[in-house]
Structure 1
Amino acid sequence: MRRLLPPLLVLLAAAPLHAQQASAPLQDFDLSGGIVAMSDYRFRGVSRSDEDPALQGNLTLSHTSGLYTGVTATTLRTGGGPDFGDGEFDLYAGWRGALGRGFDLDAGLTYYAFAGAAGHADLAEPYASIGYLIGPAQFAAGARYAPSQRGTGDEDRLYLFGQASVDLPGRPIAFTAEAGRQDWGRFGSYWNWSLGARYRIAIARRTAAEIGLRYVDTDLPSTRGQDAGLLLSAALRF
């Protein structure tokens, strides 16, 4: 798996050129994505890289109808928690569209696949959220619900979350905040939250670099992998 992830991320890096070449005959489609290097990969506040650096790549194909599909690949490292293997692949598809009066809806399904995980970790998780845009601020609230299946330990898993982001007018800086609560049957429940900032540097018409810093915390016991931390990231997005 470790041999497969680097070529995949190289392919993601070459995608902007491919997207420009294919844009003429595919005017109803848009290909976007990016590569992110991060000091720690946190999933809902809990580290999946043992608080070590991780690399993540993403590709999303969107249609003017609002339909989209894509994949996110992330390197993992097992620490003292569950063994998710060497790589996580999030395959997703959904629909995003305007509802009017500044509101929009985003709904779909994510399938989480883990390479080299101990036991059966793969699972499917439908999601839906409603967003609201007012000036430079955007707010969203939603839910992700994974029904009982082998990958959830035969327990329902519900994640409720709220997000907010504000872009400074005329500035390449954005501030973000997020809070969520996960309920997972006999595996317990917990809160997580984060505050962050992003600085965007335009490189070309469709390509930009981005530097981010986030403070992440949970109300779980303060042990390695779920304690408070500052996360630094550097990304190339198109």
Structure 2
Amino acid sequence: MLPIQSVMTLKPTTIGPDAKIWEAANLMLDRRISGLPVVNGEGHLLGVISESDFLCRGELHAENRHGLWRALFASRESLAGEYAKAFGQNVEEVMSSPAITAEPGTPIAAAAELMAENNIKRLPVVEDGKLVGIVTRSDIMSAFVRELARHSAAKADADIKNALEAELARHNWGDAAVIKVAGGVVTLEGKVLHEREKAALRVAAENVTGVKRVDDRIELVAPLDMPVPPPGFYL
């Protein structure tokens, strides 16, 4: 499986920690994205602000309502953090930090598992602490679809080659061809003595299910001259 650097978006849209949350919301709506990496002036990733961070806003009257047991046993730090997240006005106060990240060389499958385990839609890609790209669920899906298509195509080519070889094995003229299959296109190579052999090989390939085209490279060669019999030789 390829690394995520092969599918990530370079230079993703970001926002600074001192920006207002309404600026982040407007930017997300304008770009039609579900989250923003938060970076400082040097490009270091500080956190991520996403749609879910706006769901607990006090303005929406959806701030976290603590039950009795949570109010009794939750730490002062966690309760204060939740309050700041619900009513904070700067991105730094609302963002999720530290962000879940991956490195450019992380395999796509590992990145997909990381996103699924943490229920996140966007995975920042960092190198030496700096943001270098971002991977979304749609990037992961596209990569898997391409990989499945590649495997399916390879299997289809192998099935065509096996079917053609089986057909040619049934005939004493069928051993003259070297068969190659790529993308449903059959390439026939080799040498035959007669035009009818060449035509039969091509027809056999054309009749295999799944073949899109036959590239006939079979060479027609003349038989070698018969040797002159020695003197006194009689048939």
TM-score bucket (shorter structure) = under 0.3
Of structures 1 and 2, the one scoring higher in RCO (CA 8 A, sep 6+) is 2
More strand by share: 1
TM (norm. structure 1) is 0.18
State the TM-score, normalized to the length of structure 2.
0.18
